[in-house]
A and B are shown apart, each in its own frame.
Chain A
């Protein structure tokens, strides 16, 4: 392989107790869009961190442009022409766009020149940016543009993208892909990590599949089906969530003309939200992150109280009830932020099971905790939802994101809610676990619960929802039957691609 840009040869990296990468070899040519596929914990992140110089391999070699390549730190990687867009944005909210970009460059030009460059480059690639704006005020899509432009200004030969589309609207995804194809045509290789197999099929030239740290295969995405790729990733056949059709029952949750002023600096105010959820119904709520999702969840879960007359449950006004009073009624929730909101990071899984389960599972008596019952409850969650953990006493922080997500969802589902609201239930969860979580939500609806699923994964919403609505700037669109909705229609409901435009040239 003389014409390859980057070659990995038998890269191995072990952490205590787990081999993250076991003799991984792959090769990427100039201008190639190469996808890296695998479940959570398959070792994708570790692999790209090695390429980007954040992690040192235990053994194995890398060559870039035919020369040995062993970056000691990200600076060295950037100097060699390797740039990376992170899954969790590595941005500084209190700083402005130009400052953020300057931080990612080795020798940034003076501020005025840099601002000019940002305008030029961001415009040329269809990602317009105002250099003087504070990043904290930008939407998720705009933040990603900052990251991408930061990379582009360094004329990278290889661009690594870790789950770039998870927070974008379909239109934004299209624009991103146009940009990536343009880059590829200019000779920049792209290493692309995503869970969304359809995207990979439309974008990528080749794919390498990792499972448990090993390369288990490669394919040409355009010539494989999404199902084939998913099965290669998980090593077994994939179950699609199913549910027999049923008639929805009475209205359980009824929200009318609800306004909620935002309490935080960067939050969104809810405006005139109307929502009815019936027993046995799954309502999917889409929208780009930061358009009121967290606020909507907090209104239903009881974290935010509202005046009487706006939210009722089985006809009873619950606007003034707190989370525990609502739990008693059967309204449970699983918020998006796993560490810190849904689970206490430094407490064990047993303790975390106790935190929301006390009331409905009867885990305390006369003010004393019943640890035996709590342990049994935690063990039940771990078994039922296949949470991979050494035992129930490890801290929540120690679990991988996908496993903790399974735990958090499982904890609520097993409390037999009458109404469950979840935000991003399968964020960062691999295909088989995501399918299991979706199945659990469908089963819950099947048993007569009202389920509200807030998500940014539109495929997921279309797969499991009966009704679909979109949040945009704190307003909720009128729900429509999810069956038969096209991505274009949904994109319009979500407010389109804002001020994005297709790449010039």
Chain B
């Protein structure tokens, strides 16, 4: 039996499918590089999804929608930041609570938005590039956020690697006591990193509700936040590997949907779980190298308490 799947369409929708997780994972990567483990990605994403959706519907502007989503995610992460950095609560428990709170709270806000359609998101116009055969639809017929997310990968990579800010961020995540002794403001730096992570997760959520789906349903992130968390770990805290992981996940998601539609004789359940299983497997193999675990920020998840 010939499967009737167009490679062009598959690749074109891959980037769209991967962008929400990519955005969330990038934010979490920065947060974790500063030594903070925020398990609330899922909650921040869905808050971003509803905030973005609601504002876009009310104002008719998707740009305002994305801004609102970033703010919403950041505000939620601020709760986490205050609890863990100022009140020194446990990061794992607080992060889990944040996810549960985000899921519940978004459902509350979103009650009146179910079934509405958001304003359409315009494609970026690349002129003649968009009309190239094959390459055009695959690479140059997407909305701006897809390119923003890729630019963000490059920016985070460059900042972490080459800039003073990135060095300080890594230093704080590596050894907060030493950073404190050298006079760096550990708590302030971490709060900023958490807020950045929240904003990115919010953007990722809004991309789901405004572009990928696009509509609002309760619990629509469906575990995307957890996949983002896993990508950061298995991507060994490296932005380009996270991109690879996200696109792999997005690609297999789209492929299995196409296979379902094409009526492949494999149980739907197995197809549905394949993106999760394959992404994790590939990244586990990639990170099996012992040097990868070295990349983990040494004080990840540890409470910092300035003793003097």
Q: Which segment of B79-87, B174-182, B210-218 sits at the interface?
A: B174-182
Nearest B residue to A78 by beta-carbon distance?
B183
A49 at the interface (CB under 8 A from B): yes
Q: Which segment of A25-33, A90-98, A224-232, A445-453 sits at the interface?
A: A90-98
Interface residues of B in 267-291 (CB under 8 A from A): 290
B4 at the interface (CB under 8 A from A): no
Q: Given the complex, which residues of B lie within 8 Å of A95, measured CB to CB?
A: 167, 170-171, 174
Q: B288-300 interface mask toward A, CB cutoff 8 Å, 1 = contact, 0 = none?
A: 0010001101100
A75 at the interface (CB under 8 A from B): yes
Q: Given the complex, which residues of B lie within 8 Å of A89, measured CB to CB?
A: 178
Q: Given the complex, which residues of A lie within 8 Å of B184, measured CB to CB?
A: 103
| Smallest CB separation, A53 vs chain B (Å) | 7
Nearest A residue to B162 by beta-carbon distance?
A111
Interface residues of A in 74-105 (CB under 8 A from B): 74-75, 78, 86, 89-95, 99, 102-104
Q: Given the complex, which residues of A lie within 8 Å of B177, measured CB to CB?
A: 90
Chain A residues touching B, range: 20 to 34
Q: Give which listed residue, A86, A94, A102, A108, contacts B174 with CB less than 8 A.
A: A94
In the complex the two chains form, what is the Cα distance from A93 to B294 in whole Å? Answer: 10
In the complex the two chains form, what is the Cα distance from A99 to B160 in whole Å? Answer: 12
A73 at the interface (CB under 8 A from B): yes
At the interface, is chain B mostly helix, strand, loop or mixed? helix
Q: Is the CB of B164 within 8 A of A108?
A: yes
| Smallest CB separation, A146 vs chain B (Å) | 12
In the complex the two chains form, what is the Cα distance from A446 to B92 in whole Å? Answer: 52
In the complex the two chains form, what is the Cα distance from A78 to B178 in whole Å? Answer: 15
Q: Is the CB of B175 within 8 A of A92?
A: yes
A53-B183, A99-B167, A108-B164 in contact; A265/B294 too (CB < 8 A)?
yes
In the complex the two chains form, what is the Cα distance from A49 to B164 in whole Å? Answer: 26
Q: Which of A49, A53, A55, A94 has the most CB of B within 10 A?
A: A94
A8 at the interface (CB under 8 A from B): no
A54 at the interface (CB under 8 A from B): yes
Q: Is the CB of A94 within 8 A of B294?
A: yes
Q: Is the CB of B175 within 8 A of A102?
A: no
In the complex the two chains form, what is the Cα distance from A108 to B175 in whole Å? Answer: 20
Q: Given the complex, which residues of B lie within 8 Å of A102, measured CB to CB?
A: 164, 167
Q: Given the complex, which residues of B lie within 8 Å of A55, measured CB to CB?
A: 308
In the complex the two chains form, what is the Cα distance from A74 to B179 in whole Å? Answer: 11
Q: Is the CB of A49 within 8 A of B308?
A: yes
| Smallest CB separation, B165 vs chain A (Å) | 12
A99-B167, A102-B167, A265-B290 in contact; A92/B183 too (CB < 8 A)?
no
Q: Which of B168, B177, B184, B308 has the most CB of A within 10 A?
A: B308
Q: Is the CB of B308 within 8 A of A103?
A: no
Q: Is the CB of A90 within 8 A of B183?
A: no
Q: Given the complex, which residues of B lie within 8 Å of A73, measured CB to CB?
A: 183
Q: Is the CB of A91 within 8 A of B178?
A: yes
CB-defined A-B contacts under 8 Å, sample of 18: A53-B183, A54-B181, A54-B308, A74-B182, A74-B183, A89-B178, A90-B175, A91-B178, A92-B170, A92-B179, A93-B174, A93-B298, A94-B174, A94-B297, A95-B167, A95-B174, A103-B184, A108-B164
In the A-B complex, the 9 residue pairs with the smallest Cβ-Cβ separation, listed nearest first, are A74-B183, A90-B178, A92-B174, A90-B181, A75-B183, A73-B183, A92-B175, A94-B174, A103-B171
